[in-house]
Amino acid sequence: MSCLKCLKYTMCVANFLFFVCGAVILGFGIFMMTQTKFSSLLPSLPFMSITNILIIAGIVITCVSFLGFLGAYKENRCLLITFFILLFVVMLVELAGACILLVYEKKMYIGEKITNDLNKSLEEARQSHKSSVNGTVRVVRDDWDLFQKTFKCCGVKSWKDWKGETPSSCCEQTSSCNATGPYWEKGCHTMMETWFEDNLLNTGIGVIVICSIEVLGMCFSMTLFCHISRSGLGYKI
């Protein structure tokens, strides 16, 4: 009985911590909605938006962890089995996403899709030099400036993509930069591919760690569920 009590409160503490983390991630995602972000650079691939990923992850973590906390604290079989099912579904989605990335990472379709989006958004950003500039164009230009400063790149393939309207965010040294540079040599598409390849292993390790935690949570919830069933506590609320 003492071990089961320990299991119950361990689930409560762990799910409470995950709930707090999920709330922080959700709040940060909402905050980023009001800030400059990279979503305008890839309009046809909204799932790659950092803001969307943070908001979705925050909602899932808070909802699932809340069910786990309440189910363990109240010793409610309905909540515990719901927690188990949701964890299982989330784990399947994560594994499916990881497999898709591994299978299709080298497919030309994804590369061409990203290239087309970058070319289109860069053309919109170039419009900011013209007399009529709306809010959308300004956001795209701000996103490109932040993108180029972050990845230390210029244009899609090179600085020549800006066609004589190269922004200062392309400059290696802003103080000594002029109409001909020196600009970052590599294009942003190349730097994106390099970044994804460099972080592919870390992403895989992260998925494995998360899935391990989810399996542990499912084992704990099922153990507590079976104990409640044997004790005849029913659907206590």
Q: Which domains does the chain have, with CATH numbers?
A: 2-107+208-231 (no CATH), 112-189 (1.10.1450.10)
76 forms beta bridges with 235
- The pLDDT of residue 61: 92
- The pLDDT of residue 236: 47
The mean pLDDT values, 10 residues at a time, for the chain of 237 residues are 79 92 88 65 63 86 93 89 93 84 60 80 74 54 82 87 81 65 82 80 82 89 86 53
Q: Taking every pair of C-alpha atoms in the chain, what is the biggest distance, in angstroms?
A: 79
- The pLDDT of residue 60: 92
- The pLDDT of residue 139: 63
Distance (Å, whole) CA 159 – CA 170: 7
Cis preceding-peptide flag for 182 (omega within 30 of 0): yes
- The pLDDT of residue 188: 87
| In the block, residue with structure tokens 């363990």 | 72
Query: What DSSP assignment string belongs to 181-213?
Result: B-B-SS-HHHHHHHHHHHHHHHHHHHHHHHHHH
